[in-house]
A and B are shown apart, each in its own frame.
Chain A
C-alpha cells in the first residue's frame, strides 16, 4: 500500500514486505506523499519523525 502511495519512498523486498528506499531525512518534496502513505497504512506501521 505504501509503495503505491509513495513509490519514491517505499518499495518492497523479494517477499513483498515494505522497505524504506530513502536513507536519512525525507526530502521536502516527498513529504506529502509520505504522509499520505502514513495515513493509509492499514497496519499503522509507518511513523514519520520530525
Chain B
C-alpha cells in the first residue's frame, strides 16, 4: 500500500524512501508536527529535528535501549540458550551500561585503532588491484563492502577468509531480517553459534593480545564478567561494525563519483581530509537506531506510550536547517558541524574512531589510485535502508 501522508503513515522500507529519504524527512520536519507516527511495521515515531533527536538520546531513562533495531525482535529471540545474549553496550541501560561500555572503550581509543591503518590501506590497495585494469568496478560491492568486515574480523581475532559469510549474517540481521523474522532469527543464531565456538576456543586456548581472551578475563568489582556479556560484545562488533562503515564508504564514493569538484578539492588540499570526512558522515549518516519508551510520556506534544518505538533518525537530524546551513549541500570545509552520525549521549558510537579511520583510508586510497571516475548509470545504483542506509550496487567506470 503506497504512502499518502508521511506524517501519519511513513514507511521506512518504502522503495522511494530507501532511495531518497530526505524529501520525506524534510516534509515531516517542516510540518506542524515534526515527529511523525506510523502504524506500519509494528508502529513507531519518527523525530526529524536535530534538537529533538539529541534530546531523546539524552533522556535515556525514558527512551531506553531495551530494543534498538527499527523493528521488534522475533518473539523466539527471548527463548533458548541465547535468550540473554544482547549487544552490550548499545543494548544496555544504566547502571550496567557504564561497565558494559567502559570495558570495550580501550580497544577503540584513537591510539588503539591507529595500528589498523597500515593493514587497512594494504587491504584497500589489494581490492583495487582486482579490478583497476578493467576500467570498471563496483565501488559498493567490490570495495566498500569488503573493507570493514575484514578490519572487524582482524580485531576479533577470527579468520578474514570468512568475510563473505560474516557479511551474509550481518545483512540477515540488519537488512532482510528487519522485515522477515525468520531470516533475522536464523542470522542471529548463526552469529551467536559462531562466537560461542570462538569463546570456547579462547577458554581452552587463551591468546595473547586477543580481544575475546582479554574480555573473558576482565573483572568488574572483583568478579569475572559474565560470558554472556562477552558473547554479546562479539555480536555487537560484527553487527554494528560492518554494514555501517561499509555504507558510509559506499555513499561517500557514490557522492565523489558525481562531484569532480570535490575530488579536485581533496587532491589540491589534503589538509581538508578530516573536515571532509565529518561532512560526508553528516550528509550520508548511515545509521538509524531505535529506543523503546519506558513509560507513558508526552514528548514535544506527542503522546508516547510505554513500549512504543522511537526511531532515532540521525540522518534526518543531520539535515535540519536549524542546525546546519544549506543542509542538503555537501560543503567539504563546513566550519560548524556538530553532526550526530554517531549518535549522541551515552550511546554515542564506541567505534567512531575506527570508523573514521576506515572511511578516510578507504577514500584516500581510492582517490590516489582512481582519481577520476563516474557512475556507469545512476539509475542502476541500488540502496539498502531502514536501519542502515547505503549503496549496495554502485558501478563506476574510470
Contacts and interface: CB of A to CB of B under 8 A. Distances in A.
Interface of A: 1, 3-5, 12-17, 36, 39-44
Given A14-B111, A40-B336, 18 more contacts: A1-B278, A4-B278, A4-B356, A12-B109, A12-B110, A15-B109, A16-B108, A16-B109, A16-B112, A36-B335, A40-B337, A40-B338, A41-B338, A42-B339, A42-B344, A42-B348, A43-B345, A43-B348
A14 B108 CA distance: 9
Given A36-B335, A42-B339, A13 B109 contact: yes
B264 interface: no
B102 interface: yes
B62 interface: no
A16 B340 contact: no
Contacts of B356: 4
Nearest to B107: A16
Contacts of A16: 105-106, 108-110, 112, 353
Contacts, number: 44
A39 B336 contact: yes
Q: Is the interface of A mostly helix, strand, loop or mixed?
A: loop
Nearest to A35: B335
Interface residues of B, number: 22
A5 to B, nearest CB: 7
Contacts of A1: 278
B274 interface: yes
Contacts of B353: 16
Contact of B338 (A3, A4, A17, A42): A42
A13 B112 CA distance: 11
Given A3-B110, A42-B338, A15 B105 contact: yes
B54 to A, nearest CB: 9
29 contacts: A1-B278, A3-B110, A4-B274, A4-B356, A12-B109, A12-B110, A12-B111, A14-B106, A14-B109, A15-B102, A16-B105, A16-B108, A16-B109, A16-B110, A16-B112, A16-B353, A39-B336, A39-B338, A40-B337, A40-B338, A41-B338, A42-B338, A42-B339, A42-B342, A42-B344, A43-B344, A43-B345, A43-B348, A44-B338
